[in-house]
Structure 1
Amino acid sequence: MSEKQKLKVTLLAGGVGGAKMAEGFASLEDVDLTIIGNVADDEAFHGLWVSPDIDTMTYTLSGRINRQQGWGLADEGTRALETLTSLGEDTWMMLGDRDFGLHIYRTMRRMKGDRPSDIAADVAKAFGVKSKILLPTNDVVQTRVKTEQGWLSFQEYFVKEKCAPAVKALEFAGIEEASATLEALEAIASAELLVIAPSNPLVSIEPILAIKGIREALKKRAVPSIAVSPLIAGKVVKGPADRMMSALGMRADAVGVATRYQGLADILLIDHQDVALSAEILDLSIAPHCSDIMMKDMSDKMRLASEIVDLARAQGQNGAAA
């Protein structure tokens, strides 16, 4: 590969961790980034179709994200919600005024019969996002969480209940009927590097992998596939992944993450604090690579993305030499 040629990276990502990883890759001049995002968090609120993970990715890569929250738009108002509250509506899902504008646009386009993938691409273009943001499916897939209160939508569990109820089971409604988009399958087939972001393996990455055609395409890869652990020393950086994994009888550590990605990742980036788990990860036929995987600021995001690119190029050279 010449120095001027951009490396085609396809990133599977959801949540804030996925958006941070995407931002790191998007900032590298030698990377051509495509993201396959999570749509299983999508839900209708106040008659509008909301796509939290895709919106977070769009807002992040356009530089409009609320950095303090990690989601939503910066300098946002809540007058629309205040009006809905005064009218007696339940407004536990925080949606900003300009956020509503995007949800109105998306819903109008969906009502016209436009493909969700085309809508997402048009939104990203309008927001000035240069990387491609792809949907894994144009079908409706929704994560449901079983708790002592019964089955909850993911947003009810995550936002309304603040992840407090113990998780007894997970399901992805609509997954049996869902099929992968041609764009997502092409992004996997044409990638020179596949990356699984440090997103929740159960509710951000698994809904992508479970879509018909996605997992199979990853298993057929002929290029490096590198995953980044969302857990450090058994604790998640952000979100409920560690509690979910423990509640469902899985190991809530880097070994548990590696188990989820057997056959899909060649290398797992883990934090230096988890070096003692390296042998167990290697036993799963995944090569552990220790690093500082915490992304506190932009320099961390770029550093980690560059390290992944270097690992992939080194693996490619070793493979060519063999």
Structure 2
Amino acid sequence: MHGVVQHSLIILAVLTSLGVIFGLVLAYANKKMAIEVNPLIHVVEDVLPKGQCGACGYAGCMAYAEAVVINPDVPPNLCIPGKDPVAKLVGQLTGKAAAEVEPRIAQVRCAGSHAKAVKANEYHGVQDCIAANLLFGGHKSCKYGCLGLGTCVKECPFGAMTMSEEGLPIIDPDKCTGCGKCETVCPKQVIAMMPIGAAVRVNCNSHDKGTVAKKACSAACIGCTLCKKECPHGAITMDNNLAVVDAKVCMEKCDNPVCLAKCPTKAIRHAILGVVPGSEDTVA
């Protein structure tokens, strides 16, 4: 028995010694092989919004800070949420010229609420738009419309979106930074960015022909082209049965959006955020 205990103590002593030796070797190697980090990287990271949204094209704020400091070809204006103030500050810190960042904000291109959109089936699966879309394109008859399961709301890094009782996301204009994270996660491409100050927008994403679109949703754009014909500035074009507004032309030239009155389904509305899409006329 005594021999067994003595043998165990020897083994323990040997393992402990090896652990100490390996620890010292690793500590020495870590010190010798450590890469000195440019302190400017942390300074730049500190001025970024920390949303980790990826709008800059890099995997988080630290990755962008490192790239913009080390790589002379990476511009200082890639942080969309930070807008011009952050771009100019990053430019000053890195010695680079910062081009102007166009302020933008998210818009929900769908007014297909529970009351207006027709259901194709009942969905009882995972409450996630991406998952629902994998099952026959979702539960709505309109295969272009918002599925209303809130994936965009969950993914917004700035808490700028909420789900309404009508089953559509609402954008908070005071919190939305235009980072585009909600746009990238929407499987229906319902969410898009528009310039801040845009006068009108189309609350629809459907490319179905008029009769099919109207049957699936009473708020759908039916591709009638009346808005396009009415616009005196050529700001509206048609893209495969869907009206598209050039926000820049509209902002620069139009002070009286006469196109709104001609839309038979009210798919084109005042660009008012903070309300359920499709209810803009009640607050305009």
- TM-score normalised according to structure 2 size: 0.25
Question: Which structure dedicates a bigger proportion of its chain to strand?
Answer: 1
**Structure index of larger Rg:** 2
- TM-score normalised according to structure 1 size: 0.23
Q: Point out which structure has higher relative CO (alpha carbons under 8 A, 6+ apart).
A: 1
